Structure 1
């Protein structure tokens, strides 16, 4: 086990590998951590563990389902989210790889495209942590900065533009959710990460995105950015009124999307 990992992360990874090796011996040839761990922004109690498991062949779905069900019983938090791929998958454009098993918040899906995209590949290649298997550099992960920029713009024009439009309807489920801490942080820092990727060509952590926003955007937006960062680190809210916070959030996101 990599000793530099947070103790909680190490325990979950150890438990997962023990279960995988017991139920499906020899299946997991490589286990790599990406997401906030790879980006140096893992926060115990806030962050999930994002994994990429490398296998030689398509695993038995029911055995994998059992592995993750038993892992949940041992370690319900943090979530252990990720996907199963072959080394050949990682060497190709993820858009051209087949769907496969994935896990999100303990929900196992046999045929999924979740996280099979260039963001995952780039984060893994740039900072992924090898728990088992060869170093990330030896995997030959496919990188394509131009395609990453193109798909980032598409994501902003589709998912995030709809996110703001749906959240602007106050009596809808999206509108109600936009009052929450989680959606405030996810929304403000989510669109900022994409804007930073277009500016720098790199995938940023949520914290780094907030710092980028404070350095880049007008001071009028700083309170909502600091509020989004505050939700990740703790402390009292910078907004007394959640209606005002929601208005600031949607205005900020609209500005970033239109830049």
Structure 2
């Protein structure tokens, strides 16, 4: 069952999709925090994977992103919130590509926040495909277990290590050196989520990542985790004094993950 707010939002979005792309959205699956049981009203986005029959005209995709998210965008404008919580974000793939190994699928397009991308979609990756297969919610179409998905479990660990080595290393180094002077407190939950998947092969929510971080890396990071969770709850957080700590924590997570990779 979907939370009532999620059901309403996806219903509005699909109603717009069916007007702009009649008969083309053959499947619509909710993933992300909703599928992981960690969705929060007025704080979380609604992530999806859509299966498309036929083409996906760029102008129609842009119109769908704008019109399908009018309610969330209106709330964000009234609250002066650039993150647009409640946005229905996701990627579109061709129905004929459903059974392909996920890293070989080229999305038709995607949108997230204010951004629309054509022929690209970060969400089409081993982590999201695992969540889709294991706990995705079918709003339209067969249950995920019947889709013949290939999340490439053998590549899951290396894919997460690649994310830590790339994007997250740069972010951590910028914070630790002081060259990055502003950051979203909730982002510090990203590296321990990836680390957990590297170690266990399972995907956890951001909230669960905070507990995992303390269990794995020690209580000295508790102020950082408290700040991240408070931000997730919509509470004001004084994060400037924790920026360097966030960078150091991120680099420690990466180093520990790398050490496991070397041993293995």
Q: TM-score range by the shorter chain?
A: 0.7 to 0.9
Which structure 2 residues correspond to residues 197-216 of structure 1 after superposition, within 5 A? 197-216=197-216
Q: Tell me, in whole angstroms, the C-alpha distance in 2 between the residues paired with 1:198 and 1:25.
A: 41
* Aligned residue among 40, 50, 67 for 1:70: 67
Q: Tell me, in whole angstroms, the C-alpha distance in 2 between the residues paired with 1:49 and 1:12.
A: 8
Number of the residue aligned with 2:249: 252
Count of residue pairs the alignment pairs up: 245
Q: Is this contact kept in 2: 1:35–1:50, CA < 8 A? A: yes
Look up the SS of the partner of 1:57 in the other structure.
coil
Shift of 1:230: 2.1
Shift of 1:37: 0.7
Q: Tell me, in whole angstroms, the C-alpha distance in 1 between the residues paired with 2:69 and 2:34.
A: 20
Look up the SS of the partner of 1:149 in the other structure.
helix
Shift of 1:243: 4.3
Shift of 1:119: 1.3
* Aligned residue among 50, 54, 59 for 1:53: 50
Determine if the alignment matches structure 1 residue 38 to structure 2 residue 46: no
Shift of 1:11: 1.6
Q: Is this contact kept in 2: 1:87–1:139, CA < 8 A? A: no
Which structure 2 residues correspond to residues 86-165 of structure 1 after superposition, within 5 A? 86-165=94-173
Number of the residue aligned with 1:190: 190
Shift of 1:251: 1.9
Number of the residue aligned with 1:177: 182
| Structure 1 unaligned residues grouped into runs of 5+ | none
Distance 1:31 1:168, change over 3 A: same
Look up the SS of the partner of 1:85 in the other structure.
strand
Q: Is this contact kept in 1: 2:175–2:246, CA < 8 A? A: no
State TM-score, norm by structure 1. Answer: 0.87
Number of the residue aligned with 1:218: 218
Distance 1:185 1:69, change over 3 A: closer
Distance 1:74 1:220, change over 3 A: closer
Q: Is this contact kept in 2: 1:81–1:106, CA < 8 A? A: no
Q: Would you identify which runs of 4 or more consecutive aligned residues in structure 1 move more than 3 Å?
A: 234-237
Q: Tell me, in whole angstroms, the C-alpha distance in 1 between the residues paired with 2:236 and 2:62.
A: 40
